[in-house]
Amino acid sequence: MKGEMKAIDWPLIREGAIGFREYQVNLAKTAAERSSLIVLSTGLGKTVIAALVAAARLDRHPDSKVVFLAPSRPLADQQARALRRILAVDDTRIVCLTGHDGPENRKTAWHTSKVIAMTPQSLQNDLVQRSYDLTEVSLIVYDEAHRGVGDYAYTFIAEIYEKQASNPLSLGLTASPGHKTEHIRTVCANLRLEQVEIRTEKDPDVRKYIVAISSDIRYINLTSEIEVLRDMLYSLLDTYTRPVIDHGYSLPSGRRLSKKEILATQIKVRKEIGSHTKPPPKLFYLIKNLTAALRIVHLIEFIGTQGLAPTHRYIEGMYEEIRNKRSSKGVQDLVSRPEFTQFENLLQALVTKGYRHPKLDALLELVREQLSMDLDSRILIFTRFRDTAAEVSETLNQLDEVRISRFVGQSTKGADKGFSQKKQIEVLDGFRNNEFNVLVATQVGEEGLDIPECNLVVFYDCVPSVVPYIQRRGRTGRHAPGRVVIFVAKGTHDEFYHWSVIRKLKKMPSALKDAESKEIQSSLDQFESEKKESTPKGEPLTPRYSDDKVKLIVDSRELPTAVARELTRLDVVISGESLDIGDYVASEDVAIERKESNDFIQSLIDGRLFTQLSALRSAYRRPVLIIEGEQIIGLRAVNPASIYGALASIAIRIQVPIIWTRNAEETANVIYRIARMEQIDAKRPLRTRAGDRKGSDAEVLEYILSGFPGVDTVTSRSILAEFGTLERVFNASKKDLQKVKGVGPKIAGRIKRLLKTIHPEYQKET
């Protein structure tokens, strides 16, 4: 390592916790004064810079809080551990809060903490439910800030932070915000970042801390067996795409056909279907063909870049989809074809005989060579798919000197169980402590995790985006010279992805230079002033409760959606609960089921739709179905007559009104108006009800009594505590009922009146 390493002298930084690096201090000083996007390669200490800025803000605003956001639980936990090591703040007041902690626990911890590392989804859910506000937060750090586009939680949090905070400052961190100026500016606008600060290996204050990284591109020739398999798939692909082309849609030849082009054509066909009241059956046939073609293109990519065994596992997954009735007609048609059976039989035979992708032999040689030069080497191998990671691990286990572990995400895919946060930490600690010397990682190893420095990083396959490319490469060459080897299978998607990334990397410096210019700063300043004029700080979206505010009970699964965010912008007070029936409860009478158009069709196919709506009808007097989306006919290969019949049954037989909306904003406005009519205009109480309720006798008694207008669960419990049984309650006088706390003349009068009211359909015996 070049350059003198001395301890940094900075307020609220533990003595000796971090060494002095000129560029880190320079960037921190700038970012502590003005909201900034910092672009810095992986391994150059973005977390250290964020900690310095946090310390500066806490020193300037001693009563404030600092929030660090990271896209995943392991990353948030890693940040919390790093901040406890760096910041001179009581360790108990530096916490990590994620979805595992639960809303109430997060709410309690928030009020007692000083520095909070969180996942953005957890913070968004808490802000939607008004568990707390951001008034006291003097800094929010957005790790992996390039995610701050579209509906990602960062954009909503930044909007709320701007409105609520007394002393706001934002800091975005990324190794690569992208290769397009427009994308970088969008990130800055969404996260309210006023300037872009970039440091590269060529900058004077960075150069002295950089060590050499050698890069080696290794081209791999496919074997004749793999070429035969690919030819079989290309022939099958032509069978499916020819009818689409004959119908008039433009598609390139099979060897140049991409998933993107297939998806774009699907959209065109669906639009054509939607333009007909009674679409020609041919159009549904084309959708089926395009769905099958999409799978074939994926198989072609898989067998060319990943190998035979992973491709075989992928096909097994297709059959599992069919068994579980989750597959499309296109997939069912594909696997039923004799040509596909021939392909599958040959693939199975080659796997049984031990044939494998030539990348594996090249990898065995490379790892053996590295360990022969330095037995203490750490080797990190990246692959995009779990099945490939499994095969790579099994193959490298042949080497006596290899101690290997996979490193994958938390989600479970079929029989392949994901790694819990605890397991991920254990594996990284094992890699750090030399328990493992080879780590085979999927995407989870690319983004931000504190993986120990590696002597060799291998790209087993190529990635189509510059962000994971830079993140992968940054895992070596931090403190000592490193080596990167990239495998490119010739004539496959590897080549296309590799050269695509190289072109994007060449464009990135000019895009970053444009983003650093004064133009973006002035436009952002204008954007900021407009927002401040329209929404004064501290006014809206704070957790104030009053009788004239619209309230909603929202199913917890709906909290992360765009609809919940739009309702928050409408100043609705949201209470998240796990609802058995409905998605939104507007009053004791009204509950709303929301279906995006795709989900509506899927729920119709799998049989959920009528069960859900029947339960909704049985529990609430006035249920509502909202279908959200521009189009419903043609989204799936479902006969329009079936959809029309379903809509008629919902409206006439189940008697649930249907409201159509185009997007989340319209949905939120409709729900808001429904809730306002119920609560503000009609003065109906807000509470949930259930259909076929299962619970204790006491709960059933409370539930029955809470059906009376104005009687909630708390009041019904008080009434039963006073009278003991429903019989005594119903026989009690109006005066006796008023003795119960919460029961006034109006409620008591309603109960007595309804008990004596004759139902209009009652026919007196003659």
Q: Which has more confidence, 15 or 312?
A: 312
Q: Which of 159-163, 321-325, 385-389, 511-515 has the highest mean pLDDT?
A: 159-163
Q: Is the pLDDT of residue 20 over 50?
A: yes
Highest averaged pLDDT of the listed ranges 78-82, 97-101, 344-348, 630-634: 344-348
Q: Is 623 left (phi over 0), alpha (psi -120 to 50) or beta?
A: beta
Residue 713 banded pLDDT, cuts 50, 70, 90? low
Note the pLDDT of residue 695.
53
Strands (E), 107-244: 115-118, 137-143, 170-174, 195-199, 213-220
Tokens linked to 414: 């079929």
pLDDT > 70 in the chain, percent: 90
Task: Provide, rounded to the nearest whole percent, the portion of the chain with pLDDT above 90.
Answer: 54
pLDDT of residue 84: 95
Q: Would you place residue 527 in the very low, low, confident or very high pLDDT band (cuts 50, 70, 90)?
A: very low
Q: Say yes or no to pLDDT of 692 above 60.
A: no
430: pLDDT strictly greater than 50: yes
All domains of the chain, ordered by start, with CATH? 22-207 (3.40.50.300), 224-352 (1.20.1320.20), 356-489 (3.40.50.300), 551-681 (3.40.50.10130), 697-756 (1.10.150.20)
To the nearest whole number, what is the mean pLDDT of the chain? 86
Q: Which two tokens mark 732? A: 């009690």
Average pLDDT over residues 377-399: 92
Judged against a pLDDT cut of 90, whether residue 766 lies above it is answered with no
The pLDDT of 247-262, averaged and rounded, is 89
Structural tokens at position 217: 């591109």
532-544 pLDDT per residue, tens: 444 444 344 444 4
Segment holding 554, helix H or strand E = strand 551-555
On whether the CB atoms of residues 558 and 584 are closer than 8 A, the answer is: yes
Could you give the count of Cα atoms lying within 13 Å of 655 in the half-sphere of its Cβ?
A: 6
- Backbone φ and ψ for 738, nearest 5 degrees, come out as -70, -10
578-623 pLDDT per residue, tens: 898 999 999 999 999 999 998 998 888 877 899 899 889 888 989 9
Q: Where are the alpha helices (DSSP H) in 620-725?
A: 640-648, 664-676, 697-705, 713-723
Secondary structure (3-state) at 199: strand
How far apart are alpha carbons 651 and 638 in whole angstroms?
20
Q: How far apart are CA 611 and CA 26, in angstroms?
A: 61
Average pLDDT on 288-305 reads 95
Least Cα distance to 380 among 468, 447, 458 occurs for 458
Instruction: Please give the residue that has the higher pLDDT: either 300 or 326.
Output: 300
Question: Angle formed by the axes of helices 153-164 and 181-191, to 10°?
Answer: 40
Helix runs in 550-696, H state only: 562-569, 597-606, 608-619, 640-648, 664-676
Burial 539-573 (b: 16+ CB within 10 A, else e): eebeeeeeeeebbbbbbeebbbbbbbbbbbbbebb
Q: DSSP labels for 234-251?
A: HHHHHHHHHHHHHTT---
Angle 441-445-450 from CA coordinates, rounded to 5° = 130
pLDDT at 528 over 70: no
Kindly state the average pLDDT of the residues 704-713.
75
Flag the least confident range among 6-15, 659-668, 726-735: 6-15
**pLDDT for the residue 477:** 62
In this predicted model, what pLDDT tens digit does every residue of 301-341 receive, in sequence order? 999 999 999 999 999 999 998 888 778 889 999 999 999 99
The pLDDT of 65-83, averaged and rounded, is 91
